[in-house]
């Protein structure tokens, strides 16, 4: 493994549910695997898209903190939704977490997500 490549993990976010790392830091870039609304114990957070989006963003915050970063360091986000009708509510919650200078973002509707989740978000962050 490269000396510049560091695995990032946090017990405050759910463990990986497959053969992948929660995050990988290379130099000043951090690549987080997609987060679904699992709590730290690995249980799906039941509820509407608002509840699920909050859980996902809290997971992301925990992983960023493990790399000594924060939401302001996120430069790109990709949001996966199983129902594009959830876009407005997801967007409202997302805006609360990124109120100033939000990262670039794509939002994509998908047929299904692991564990029956309604949302998954992956991010790339850059440490200044």
Strands in 119-126's sheet, in edge-to-edge order, are: 5-8, 23-26, 29-35, 119-126, 74-81, 104-109
- The ranges assigned to domains in the chain are 5-126
pLDDT digits (tens, 9 = 90+) for 37-55: 999 999 999 999 999 999 9
Q: How confident is the model at residue 66 (pLDDT cuts 50, 70, 90)?
A: very high
Q: Which residues, 6+ apart, have CB-to-CB distance to 12 below 8 Å? A: 40, 62, 65, 66
- Give me 107's structure tokens: 């939002």
pLDDT at 17: 79
Joined tokens for residue 92: 């409202």
**DSSP of 69-101, one letter per residue?**
--GGGEEEEEEEES-GGGHHHHHHHHHHHS-SS
Positive or negative torsion for Cα 28, 68, 81, 99: negative
* pLDDT (0 to 100) of residue 1: 54
Tokens standing for residue 75? 């430069």
- Provide the CATH topology of domain 5-126: 60s Ribosomal Protein L30; Chain: A; (3.30.1330)
| Residue 16 DSSP class | P
Q: What is the pLDDT of residue 4?
A: 87
Show the tokens assigned to 97: 């977490």
Asked if residue 61 has pLDDT above 70, the reply is: yes
Choose between 34 and 128: higher pLDDT.
34
């Amino acid at each position: 493994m490269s000396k510049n490549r560091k695995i990032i993990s946090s017990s405050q976010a759910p463990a990986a549910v497959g053969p992948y790392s929660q995050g990988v830091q290379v130099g000043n870039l951090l690549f987080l695997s997609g987060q679904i609304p699992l709590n730290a114990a690995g249980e799906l957070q039941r509820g509407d898209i608002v509840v699920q989006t909050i859980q996902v963003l809290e997971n992301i915050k925990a992983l960023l903190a493990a790399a000594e970063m924060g939401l302001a360091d996120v430069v790109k986000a990709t949001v996966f939704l199983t129902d594009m009708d959830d876009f407005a509510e997801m967007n409202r919650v997302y805006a609360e977490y990124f109120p100033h200078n939000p990262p670039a973002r794509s939002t994509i509707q998908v047929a299904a997500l692991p564990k029956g989740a309604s949302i998954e978000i992956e991010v790339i962050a850059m440490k200044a």
